[in-house]
Structure 1
Amino acid sequence: MEEQSKNYVGGSVGGNFIGGNSTGNVSNIINELPSSSEADKPGIKELLTQLQAAIEADPNLIDDDKQDALEQVKELADAAQNPNDPEMKNKAKTANRMLGRIMKSVPQATQFLEFCNNLLPLITKVFGF
């Protein structure tokens, strides 16, 4: 009986990432960040919210790419909770690199590319790189 349980894989791993809880999880983490103290200058919370919206809205990003990109936005939001911590800076650098790779692999995703090209430099300033 134990041998059978080792080989059994069950459950569902599919589903719509964008319409599911993962988008909500990203939003929840972003919403935990403080809002910008300057009305005319977006802070990390506003920048990540814009990036998330651009990823979700781009029709040229397939669900897998959206999932990967949103996971990196989540990593950036996690890191932004404590942006001066060396471990969090490394987490942000990794997320930034991953978003860059996704951008390069999906050049037809113009909304995503435009937002990344404009927002990633502003986001990475928060982490001092």
Structure 2
Amino acid sequence: AAAGRLALRQVIFGGEALEPQSLRPWMERMGDEAPRLINMYGITETTVHVTYRRITRADLAGQRSPVGTAIADLGLCVLDAQLNAVPVGVAGELHVSGAGLARGYLGRPGLTAERFVAAADGRRLYRTGDLVR
């Protein structure tokens, strides 16, 4: 690697909500190109990760964790309490669908019924409880 550069290609964050401003010292020293910083949002019900987002300097201005876009075997929708889609930019609960989603909780039918719900189009959705825009 060139002087001052790392051979590392990516740093992946996961587990807790990322506070983008906490990366300011890193960005000031290393920039946002090499290595690339990746935020992964996830829930156990999808076997760890749901979304992917590359973090750039522009994200430092935000106060919330930018979760990004769905990984290949999952879908995302932002819904209100009645399971209706909310307009872009309006806060709502994140719901996850797709082949990578669990079928429910083993031996916990009540919790499964509460968290895994049917969409109007018949898809099975998981209610994350997380508010997003």
Judge same fold: TM > 0.5, yes or no. Answer: no
Q: Which has the higher contact order (CA 8 A, sep 6+)?
A: 1
Q: In proportion to residue count, which structure has more strand? A: 2
The TM-score, its normalising length taken from structure 1, stands at 0.27
Report which of the two has the higher share of helix.
1
